[in-house]
């Protein structure tokens, strides 16, 4: 009897173990089925989103060139009770309001330093993908000498009397009469160098060593009363062969702006005065090559480039970008 009871208890134990194992397998299979079902649902959703985005790009490609360069895909998130729903729609970049621009900047540049570098790489990759070479400028200056005729003694002081005498002497100088004693002051003497493109150059020197004079000379903004010798060239062209003010600019250490404007209004005003430069021509060529190659750009990169290439807007996306990324 005892042997029979032992055999029966062993059978019950084995049956319980088999039931528990079958339950565990069914739960594991149920979990795997859910996981694969979720993956299939996610892939199906991604496929639908990609198809919808491709249809939107196709609709943009059918627009005339003028409208195509001002239309992009704007991505936003709609909050619901369960989760945030991503939504993309075709938008005219000229109709972006303050909330749209702020939402775009906050979404793309969450961490200003890291996200800005990634975004700039995306911009460069888009241009390189279609083989566009951005124009570069190399500045050369050889044997540059800058001299000034200065008064000596008490005549060099900025007094009212000296100003009146200088005006009188300037009038006499027109007929060849010079009475004041002057001396030549060498500000720059035999300076040569090269400013390579796509690089940042740091100019160091003690006070009154000629740093500002050198920068003004390279920008073509020296005082006409100074005597300049030597050669300055931009990509092999001398300063008298083009307008250097359209290629370079000297930024003074003194802030010159309207005190009644806010920082944002000042940047917007400066952007409107400067214009968009060659950004529109670059965008036009870029869109043409991408259309021929069948390439769809990233919506964020495309929207940013188109929004910053529009002239005459009251508030530019570039201003919001400048305020976000110092």
Query: What are 191-244's pLDDT values in tens digits?
Result: 999 999 888 889 998 988 889 999 999 998 898 889 999 999 999 899 888 888
User: Do the Cβ atoms of 314 and 288 come closer than 8 Å?
Assistant: no
What's residue 119's pLDDT?
92
CB atoms closer than 10 angstroms to residue 70: 18
CA dihedral angle for residue 97, residue 100, residue 105, residue 106, rounded to 10 degrees: 130
What's residue 83's pLDDT?
62
Residue 225 to residues 150, 157, 249, Cα–Cα distance (Å) = 11, 18, 20
| Angstrom distance (rounded) from CA 34 to CA 13 | 32
Q: β-strand 84-92 against 71-79: which pairing, if any?
A: antiparallel
What's residue 37's pLDDT?
44
Positions in the chain short of pLDDT 50: 1-10, 13-14, 17, 21-32, 34-45
Intra-chain end-to-end CA distance of the chain, in Å: 90
What's residue 318's pLDDT?
87
pLDDT in tens, 43-63: 444 555 667 778 888 888 888
User: Do the Cβ atoms of 310 and 276 come closer than 8 Å?
Assistant: yes
| Angstrom distance (rounded) from CA 4 to CA 6 | 5
Long-range contacts made by residues 35-42, C-beta under 8 angstroms, separation at least 24?
none
Upper half-sphere CA count for residue 219 (Cβ side, 13 Å)? 15
Residue 180 φ/ψ, nearest 5 degrees: -75, 145
What's residue 36's pLDDT?
40
Enumerate residues 6+ apart whose C-beta is below 8 A from 283: 69, 305, 306, 309
What's residue 45's pLDDT?
47
What's residue 57's pLDDT?
82
Tokens (6 digits) for 211: 């740093």
User: Do the Cβ atoms of 102 and 323 come closer than 8 Å?
Assistant: no
CA 294 from chain center: how many Å?
Answer: 26
DSSP letter, residue 16: H
């Amino acid at each position: 009897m005892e042997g029979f009871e032992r055999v029966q208890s062993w059978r019950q134990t084995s049956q319980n173990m088999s039931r528990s194992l079958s339950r565990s397998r069914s739960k594991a299979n149920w979990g795997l089925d859910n996981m694969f079902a979720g993956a299939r649902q996610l892939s199906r959703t991604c496929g639908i989103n990609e198809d919808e985005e491709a249809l939107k790009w196709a609709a943009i490609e059918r627009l005339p060139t003028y409208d195509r360069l001002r239309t992009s895909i704007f991505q936003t998130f709609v909050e619901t009770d369960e989760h945030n729903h991503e939504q993309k729609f075709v938008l005219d970049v000229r109709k972006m309001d303050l909330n749209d621009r702020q939402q775009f900047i906050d979404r793309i540049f969450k961490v200003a330093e890291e996200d800005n570098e990634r975004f700039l790489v995306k911009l460069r990759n888009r241009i390189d993908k279609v083989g566009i070479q951005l124009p570069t400028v190399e500045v050369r200056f050889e044997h540059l000498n800058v001299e000034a005729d200065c008064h000596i003694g008490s005549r060099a002081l900025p007094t009212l009397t000296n100003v009146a005498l200088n005006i009188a002497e300037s009038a006499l100088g027109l007929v060849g009469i010079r009475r004041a004693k002057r001396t030549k002051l060498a500000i720059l003497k035999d300076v040569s160098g090269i400013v390579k493109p796509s690089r940042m150059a740091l100019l160091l020197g003690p006070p009154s060593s000629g740093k500002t004079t050198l920068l003004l000379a390279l920008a073509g903004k020296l005082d006409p009363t100074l005597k300049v010798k030597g050669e300055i060239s931009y990509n092999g062209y001398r300063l008298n062969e083009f307008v250097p003010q359209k290629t370079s600019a000297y930024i003074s250490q003194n802030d010159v702006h309207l005190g009644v404007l806010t920082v944002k209004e000042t940047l917007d005003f400066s952007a409107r005065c400067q214009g968009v430069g060659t950004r529109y021509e670059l965008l036009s060529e870029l869109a043409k090559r991408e259309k021929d190659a069948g390439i769809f750009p990233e919506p964020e990169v495309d929207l940013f480039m188109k929004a910053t290439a529009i002239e005459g807007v009251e508030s530019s996306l570039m201003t919001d970008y400048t305020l976000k990324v110092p």
